[in-house]
């Protein structure tokens, strides 16, 4: 049992039809910084991030890459995950919209909305922007007003969500919760949008295959935004959200272009289902490149990896949070990045840490000296440092990262100035001089300790090094900011090992290295486009059985655990006209009845299969075989040169339907 206050924050979930650039990185780093900060304030924090893997864009990208969608998204999701690790992002839950638990949550939410009378069937014709995955309010032939790309006229059978019924409840909610949408400019934008009237929203698609099926309503799949937004709920228990205690979310951090989905659709879906609403939606601005939004389609992206490689992850984190006022747009330039690195990190924090340690090493035998009575100059610095604690905490609370960092860096600058004025290196060896030097060095080290603790949420890697250099136990992230005070640095504490912090780097050289890595990266195909290793499943219902490999690729248990296999019972079986190898089965898998196509028609009589228990892969993405939806796979051995399928079964015992195979 924990009596800690809970705090739940989310990044948007990222589309897997592309690789991360530093615009995406910005959303996630902000969230990670808040997560670290809240932890230091004593909260039990959960932060989620993840990937948005359905929709026609992915369908098209996978086709272009010549691989099945499931393989395509798995590779892309792995890339996103790896990148967050490289940036020190501590996500607690990485949610993929192809996760089974997510599909269950989406289906459950839909059921709630439908049972409460907010869903109805209909037809829709409109101009659709495939890039934004949204119908847009333009005439045929006109381009998308948001992204400027061409639109397509689409007519399809849909389920509609009665968004129009929520105009009043939403306006009432905004009025009662004035901080719900941040910053103010975005709130005004959303308010006028809702005041202008809301049209019902189609929330299923029949023109898309790659999506979560609407149970019993095939070929309907969920519209990407109904699917994606629900990820916030699936990450913390889905239908059982009450058990985790993390719903409603404290804040959804999003980019400004997706505020409407979060501040209008999402609360309306939740109201319709009778669920609690998130406490706040915070929209940040864009990272611009030459005054234009950085985006893959415009070809002006900068990726995080070359920056991390040349300057370190903290340099990128610092730059993104220091250079942009949170909520507004900010410009990216390599020049400004390296400039910040050299002036603030190498000459600022890095230099202060190494010179303080060197002076203590030399004058105090490598131990924190004992201060005598503070002089006015020492006390002035103490007052500034103590005030910074309260101010910075307040600024982090308001997500005013650049102001928080500005204040910490003015403390660092004041300390540099203090050292220049007090020049401890020119003091002699008399008792009075030694005491004075000890006081100055202790004061400097104490400022450094406080600045390090306050900067930790932004610079997790380097502050951990400074922390151990100062001989402090554990990690700066594990201290309680609420207990941080001037005067806690214990004299006599031995310094830790000194480690390289921010080596100065020549600007032109750094830029050249980053740019050439970036150019190389741009030439590489995305991981999902690279050739895939041959797979060998005796897969019925997906691909033809492949020949066994001489030396199969080894996988870890965690890879195997991703395949969810369960005992299923065949309820009905029938031949498919025009497909002489396929049978259409309905299979009870314990939680639902699935329709699955199996390539066994030449070897099994349909009527003899009824009641038979089989092994079913239940978390395989649905696909169509000869126009028939197949949602899962029956496991069978592939025997002999012709690959005759022999169904895996359970002859020894009457196993329970739905039992998992592990």
User: Where along the sequence are the contacts to ligand MSP (CB under 6 A)?
Assistant: 12-15, 23-24, 26-27, 52, 228-229, 231, 254-255, 257-258, 286-287, 293-295
Minimum CB separation from ligand MSP for residue 146, in Å? 11
**Which CB atom, from 27 or from 619, has the smaller least distance to ligand MSP?**
27
Radius of gyration of the chain (CA): 29
Query: Of the two residues 58 and 198, which places its CB atom closer to ligand MSP in the complex?
Result: 58
What is the distance between the alpha carbons of residues 572 and 595, in angstroms, rounded to a whole number? 9
CB of 436 to ligand MSP, least distance (A): 50
Query: Based on CB atoms, which residue is closest to ligand MSP, 254 or 567?
Result: 254
Q: Nearer Cβ to ligand MSP, position 254 or 412?
A: 254
How open is the CA angle 35-41-42, to the nearest 5 degrees?
Answer: 95
Closer residue to ligand MSP in complex, CB, 52/446: 52
What separation in angstroms does the CA of 2 have from each of 9, 178, 236, 346, 475?
19, 31, 17, 41, 22
| Residue 52 Cβ vs ligand MSP, minimum distance, rounded to whole Å | 4
Instruction: Say how far apart CA 394 and CA 308 lie, in whole Å.
Output: 29
* Cβ–Cβ < 8 Å for 280, 250: yes
Secondary structure letter of residue 262 according to DSSP: I
Beta carbon of residue 555, minimum distance to ligand MSP (angstroms, whole number):
29
Q: How far is the CB of 26 from ligand MSP (least distance, A)?
A: 5
Instruction: Work out how close the CB of 89 gets to ligand MSP at its nearest, in angstroms, rounded to a whole number.
Output: 14
Cβ(305)–Cβ(259) below 8 Å? no
Tell the smallest beta-carbon distance from residue 20 to ligand MSP (Å).
8
**How far from 487 is each of 385, 392, 411, 457, 478, CA to CA, in Å?**
10, 18, 16, 22, 19
The span from the CA of 99 to the CA of 50, in Å, is: 11
Task: Choose between 30 and 601: whose C-beta lies nearer to ligand MSP.
Answer: 30
* Chain centroid to CA 595: 33
Q: Which is nearer to ligand MSP, 153 or 522 (CB)?
A: 522
CA distance 404 to 305: 26
Tell me the C-alpha to C-alpha distance, in Å, between residue 39 and each of 47, 155, 220, 297, 467: 11, 49, 42, 37, 17
State in angstroms the smallest separation of the CB of 222 from ligand MSP. 13
> Phi/psi zone of residue 291: left (φ > 0), alpha (ψ -120 to 50 degrees), beta?
left
Residue 281 or 600: the one with the smaller Cβ distance to ligand MSP is 281
Compute the least distance from the CB of residue 404 to ligand MSP, in Å: 20
Q: Return d(Cα 84, Cα 25) in angstroms, integer.
A: 8
CB nearer to ligand MSP: give 45 or 224: 224
| Closest residue to ligand MSP in the complex (CB) | 255
Report the nearest approach of ligand MSP to the CB of residue 23 (Å).
Answer: 2
CA distance to 43, 44, 588, per residue, from 38 (Å): 6, 8, 45
- CA pair distance 631, 609, nearest whole angstrom: 18
Burial of 279 (0-12, 13-18, 19+ CB in 10 A): middle
Half-sphere exposure of 637 (CA within 13 A, CB side): 6
Question: What is residue 496's DSSP assignment?
Answer: -
DSSP state of 258: G
Q: How far is the CB of 87 from ligand MSP (least distance, A)?
A: 14
294: tokens are 């950085």
Q: How far apart are CA 228 and CA 624, in angstroms?
A: 22
Give me the least distance between CB of 286 and ligand MSP, in Å please.
4
Minimum Å distance from CB 289 to ligand MSP?
A: 8
Q: How many CB atoms lie within 10 A of CB 319?
A: 25
């Amino acid at each position: 049992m924990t009596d800690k206050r809970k705090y739940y924050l989310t990044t948007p979930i990222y589309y897997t039809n592309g690789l991360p650039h530093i615009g995406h990185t910005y959303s996630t780093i902000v969230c990670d910084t808040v997560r670290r900060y809240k932890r230091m304030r004593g909260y039990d924090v959960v932060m989620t991030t993840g990937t948005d893997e359905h929709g026609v864009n992915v369908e098209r990208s996978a086709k272009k890459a010549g691989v099945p969608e499931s393989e395509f998204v798995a590779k892309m999701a792995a890339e996103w995950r790896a990148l967050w690790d490289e940036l020190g992002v501590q996500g607690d839950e990485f949610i993929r919209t192809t996760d089974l638990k997510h599909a269950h949550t989406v289906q459950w939410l839909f059921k709630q909305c439908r049972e409460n009378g907010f869903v109805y069937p209909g037809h829709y014709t409109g101009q659709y922007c495939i890039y934004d995955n949204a119908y847009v309010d333009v005439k045929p032939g006109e381009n998308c007003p948001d992204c400027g790309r061409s639109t397509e006229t689409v007519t399809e059978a849909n389920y509609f969500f009665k968004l129009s019924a929520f105009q009043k409840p939403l306006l009432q909610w905004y009025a009662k919760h004035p901080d719900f949408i941040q910053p103010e400019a975005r709130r005004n934008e959303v308010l006028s949008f809702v005041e202008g009237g809301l049209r019902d929203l189609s929330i299923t698609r029949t023109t898309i295959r790659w999506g979560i099926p609407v149970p019993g309503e095939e070929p309907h799949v969920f519209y990407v935004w109904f699917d994606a937004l629900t990820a916030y709920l699936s990450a913390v228990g889905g239908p059982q959200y009450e058990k985790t205690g993390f719903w409603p979310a404290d804040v959804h951090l999003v980019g400004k272009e997706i505020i409407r989905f979060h501040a209008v659709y999402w609360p309306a879906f939740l109201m319709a289902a009778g669920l609690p609403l998130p406490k706040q939606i915070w929209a940040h601005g864009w990272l611009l490149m030459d005054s234009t939004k950085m985006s893959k389609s415009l070809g002006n992206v900068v990726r995080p990896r070359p920056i991390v490689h040349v300057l370190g992850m903290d340099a990128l984190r610092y730059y993104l949070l220091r250079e942009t006022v949170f909520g507004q747009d900010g410009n990216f330039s390599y020049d400004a990045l390296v400039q910040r690195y050299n002036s603030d990190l190498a000459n600022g924090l890095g230099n202060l840490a190494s010179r303080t340690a060197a002076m203590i090493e030399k004058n105090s035998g490598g131990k924190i000296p004992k201060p005598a009575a503070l002089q006015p100059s020492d006390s002035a610095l103490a007052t500034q440092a103590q005030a910074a604690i309260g101010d910075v905490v307040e600024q982090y609370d308001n997500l005013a990262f650049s102001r928080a960092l500005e204040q910490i860096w003015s403390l660092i600058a004041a300390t540099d100035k203090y050292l220049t004025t007090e020049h401890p290196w020119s003091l002699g060896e008399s008792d009075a001089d030694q005491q004075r030097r000890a006081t100055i060095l202790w004061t400097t080290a104490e400022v450094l300790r406080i600045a390090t603790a306050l900067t930790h949420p932004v610079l997790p890697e380097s502050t951990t090094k400074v922390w151990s250099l100062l001989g402090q136990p554990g990690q700066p992230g594990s201290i309680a900011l609420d207990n941080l005070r001037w005067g806690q640095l214990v004299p006599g504490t031995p310094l830790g090992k000194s480690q390289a912090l921010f080596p100065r780097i020549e600007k032109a050289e750094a830029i050249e290295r980053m740019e050439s890595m970036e150019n190389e990266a741009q030439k590489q195909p995305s991981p999902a486009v690279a050739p895939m290793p041959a797979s060998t499943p005796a897969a019925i219902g997906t691909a033809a059985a492949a020949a066994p490999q001489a030396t199969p690729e080894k996988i870890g248990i965690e890879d195997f655990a991703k395949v969810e296999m369960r005992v299923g019972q065949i309820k009905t079986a029938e031949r498919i006209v025009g497909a002489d190898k396929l049978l259409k089965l309905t299979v009870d898998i314990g939680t639902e009845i699935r329709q699955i196509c199996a390539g066994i028609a030449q070897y099994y009589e349909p009527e003899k299969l009824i009641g038979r228990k089989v092994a079913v892969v239940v978390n395989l993405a649905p696909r169509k075989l000869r126009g028939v939806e197949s949602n899962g796979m029956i496991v069978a051995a592939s025997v002999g040169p012709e690959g005759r399928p022999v169904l895996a079964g359970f002859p020894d015992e009457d196993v329970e339907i739905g039992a998992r195979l592990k």
